[in-house]
Chain A
Amino acid sequence: MNSGSKRLTRKLLAHAFLILFIMMIMTPFLTVIASSFSRGNFAPSKLIPTEISLNHWKYVLGIPYDEVVNVTTGETRTLKADVVPIRWFWNSIKISIIASGGILLLSGTCAYAFARMKFAFKNQTMTGLLILQMFPMVLALVAFYTILEFIGQFAPRMGLNTHAGLTLIYLGGVSIYIWMIKGYFETISTSIEESARIDGASPFQAFILILLPMSAPIFAVVFILSFISYMSEYPVASVVLQTGDQWTLAVGANSFLYEQQKLWGRFSALAVLSGIPITVLFIICQRFLVSGLTAGGVKE
């Protein structure tokens, strides 16, 4: 075999592997899309449904549609959900955006303190945060429930079954982001802030006017990551939110999966829907996710 054909073989093998790999990744995704457009609430067996139906999408979006209830007589009934699933979608977006914004605010300021300030027990606190973060949120579920119940006695709008209450709990997931942002801050030379200080900036001004704009990439990453995690968070939301009108997407989607009947079609439509805001967010944040934002400021 000469070297030319050897290279060709290698290329073909590499491409075959890549195509196989892409198929492995794409199949579940396409299955879900196919399922959302299929007739009937079954787990789909084909990537391209034999009969395209928009019923699941109509159900999810709250558009009334006719469903055949008796195949022999052809009897139909008009169907519309009591709580329109699109509402869960808006709930999710609202909670995720507010919680992620809050996370940015908290973790950004905390990280600044950890990266730049001197105070007692700094290292112990940092390690403590990291260790606490290792326990999944679910473990404290019962505590969250009690706490929110307690808060609810005084401020009903922040108690159980409220979005404010859930957001409050979500803000507790801040420590991993503190670590991320702190790591980024530490790559920025302190002399830039010292320079700002000499120029007459207060520590707060140096933070807002100098450090924050330079840190846009890490803030974009943190926002995206926390947004995604809150869009898909189930255990805590399922316990805190009790009535259908308050549910988030994950809780609502799960409600389609009864023990007796799993409504895969509706579930899939909802799943596809949940992907949209994440995609949009990515497109918006992409322009912040550029490297070289801190380039040129200092020479290492």
Chain B
Amino acid sequence: MAEHNGKVVINKLEKTYLDGKGKPAFTAVKGIDLIIEDGEFMVLVGPSGCGKSTTLRMVAGLEDISEGTISIGDTVVNKLEPKDRGIAMVFQNYALYPHLSVFTNMAFSLQLSKVPKAEIKKRVDIAAEILGLSDMLERKPKALSGGQRQRVAVGRAIVRNPKVFLFDEPLSNLDAKMRVQMRTEISNLHERLGTTILYVTHDQVEAMTMGDRICVMNAGEIMQVADPLTLYKHPENMFVASFIGSPPMNLIHGKLKLDNDQAYFIENEGDTHPLGTIKLKGPSAQKAKEIGSRPVVLGIRPEHLYERSQHENEAEFTAPVSLAEPMGAETLLHMDMANHRLIGRIQNDRLFKRREEVTLYLHLDKCSFFDPTTEQVL
């Protein structure tokens, strides 16, 4: 179906909201550059107010562009009406037309552009078939469940046969079970249609599971654009490290010290249970030598703490459990360390008690180091 070019190029895009007197009041998007390849599933993810929805709405043509350009295919669309941009959008609240039947909801855009009736029926039927809505075409939206309504909204986008699908947090109004199901359906849809998708969400699970690539945004700026695994394993900055992953990456403030060909990480002093001085081994020691003696933030994912020694390059430490969350397959151990709370994802089927002293092993090969002032990876 995707015979047309759905490459989206966002160039130095900026959005500034003006106050009542026409003076710049708030910059929501601060000059971002992003290229979405034809047929790619790109997820924009970030906390509330990071500018991801504003960016999407600018691509859709629902918000004016303050600076920069957006092109879809090979056309700069800054001045084009939404309907002429070759996009279709699915809204968070579905935004169905409540007084129209499912069929008319889906056919509305085609009726407006005076497509022949037979053609409309054909295209709506195909979309309804894909989404399993064929039996409900005569119903009104209020007679549908949440998941069905969202499917109608998706169907309305499909019949337009757009170059780019825009999704604005489409699953956040669904219950947990429905969300998982729709997630798969949208992924399948992308597989089937092969159309470019720009998908906004604040849910990192959606981002990780659906996106070919993920663009993490914060405070109007792009933090990192990468595929899910790269994003997870090699975060470029502390924001991405703490935003992606649940529970997030542990970030421990301290400094690196090189001494007699040995490398150490010394945690900043605090009140209780210091991690203290860790002797770095293997690749982490190599990395530390490249970085040199300086203040750093050590990042380690919760799953890289173990209760039993199982790797060559490990650091051992003992701390009391302040909270244990058994999840079934694993247990999340929270330990209040000197300056922070350390979380470990422990594969173990025993119950941990509060205040129980546990000895854990930290896998040094998996450590990342960040600059504490710029927050960038070293």
Q: Which residues of A contact B213 (CB under 8 A)?
A: none
B83 at the interface (CB under 8 A from A): yes
Name the residue among B82, B97, B140 with the largest chain A CB count within 10 angstroms: B97
User: Hey, which chain B residues are within 8 Å of A295, CB to CB?
Assistant: 98, 141-142
Cα distance A195–B149 when bound, in Å? Answer: 14
Q: State which of A199, A292, A294 has its C-beta within 8 Å of the C-beta of B83.
A: A199
Chain B residue at smallest Cβ distance from A210: B97
Question: Does B193 interact with chain A (Cβ within 8 Å)?
Answer: no
Q: Is the CB of A195 within 8 A of B95?
A: yes
A259 contacts partner chain B, Cβ-Cβ < 8 Å: no
The reply on A129 being an interface residue by CB < 8 A is no
Residue of B nearest to A216 (CB): B99
Out of A191, A199, A294, name the residue touching B160 (CB < 8 Å): A199
A296-B82 in contact (CB<8A): no
A197 on the B face (CB < 8 A)? yes
From residue 131 to 156 of chain B, which have CB atoms closer than 8 A to chain A?
140-144, 146, 149, 156
Instruction: Flag if B98 contacts A191 (CB, 8 Å).
Output: no
Q: Which of B34-42, B85-93, B228-236, B315-323 touches A?
A: B85-93
Q: Across the interface, do B112 and A296 meet the contact criterion of CB distance under 8 Å?
A: no
Is B48 interfacial (CB-CB < 8 Å)?
no
28 cross-chain CB contacts under 8 A: A189-B93, A189-B95, A191-B92, A192-B95, A194-B60, A194-B91, A195-B91, A195-B96, A196-B97, A196-B108, A197-B82, A197-B83, A199-B156, A213-B99, A214-B98, A214-B99, A292-B142, A295-B98, A295-B142, A296-B98, A296-B149, A297-B96, A297-B97, A297-B141, A298-B94, A298-B95, A298-B96, A299-B93
- Size class of the contact patch on chain B: 20 to 34
The answer on a CB contact under 8 Å between B60 and A198 is: yes
Count of A residues near B, CB < 8 Å?
Answer: 24
Bound CA–CA A201/B84 (angstroms): 11
A-B contact count (CB 8 A): 85
Interface check B113, CB cutoff 8 A: yes
B27 at the interface (CB under 8 A from A): no
For residue A293, CB closer than 8 A to chain B, the reply is yes
Compute how far the CA of A294 lies from the CA of B83 in the bound complex, rounded to whole angstroms: 25
B149 / chain A contacts, CB cutoff of 8 Å: 296, 299
- Does A300 belong to the interface (CB within 8 Å)? yes
**Which residues on B sit within 8 Å (CB–CB) of A189?**
93, 95
A23 to B89, CA, bound (A): 59
Complex A-B, nearest 9 residue pairs according to Cβ-Cβ distance, in ascending order: A296-B142, A297-B98, A296-B141, A199-B109, A200-B83, A298-B93, A191-B95, A195-B95, A295-B142
The reply to whether B146 and A293 form a contact with Cβ atoms under 8 Å apart is: no
Look across to chain A and name the residue whose beta carbon is closest to the beta carbon of B159: A199
Query: Quick check: is A9 within 8 A (CB to CB) of the other chain?
Result: no
Bound form: Cα–Cα A156–B161 in Å: 59
Name the A residues within 8 Å of B94 (CB-CB). 297-299
Given contacts A191-B92, A205-B112, A295-B141, 7 further A-B contacts (CB under 8 A): A194-B60, A194-B89, A198-B62, A198-B88, A201-B108, A214-B98, A298-B96
Interface residue ranges, A against B (CB under 8 Å) = 189, 191-192, 194-201, 205, 210, 213-214, 292-300
Q: Which chain B positions have C-beta within 8 A of A205? A: 112
User: Please, how many angstroms separate the alpha-carbon atoms of A36 and B89 in the complex?
Assistant: 64
- Docked pose: A168 CA to B93 CA in angstroms: 42
A91 to B312, CA, bound (A): 100
Is B173 an interface residue when CB atoms closer than 8 A count as contact? yes
Instruction: Give the distance in Å from the alpha carbon of A268 to the alpha carbon of B109 in the complex.
Output: 56
Q: Decide if A297 touches B112 in the complex (CB within 8 Å).
A: no
Minimum CB–CB distance from A98 to chain B (whole Å) comes to 27
Residues of B contacting A294 with CB < 8 Å?
Answer: 98
B109 and chain A: residue at smallest CB distance: A199
Contact across chains for A198 and B87 when beta carbons are under 8 A apart: yes
A295 to chain B: closest CB distance in Å?
4
Closest chain-B Cβ to A126's Cβ sits at a distance in Å of 15
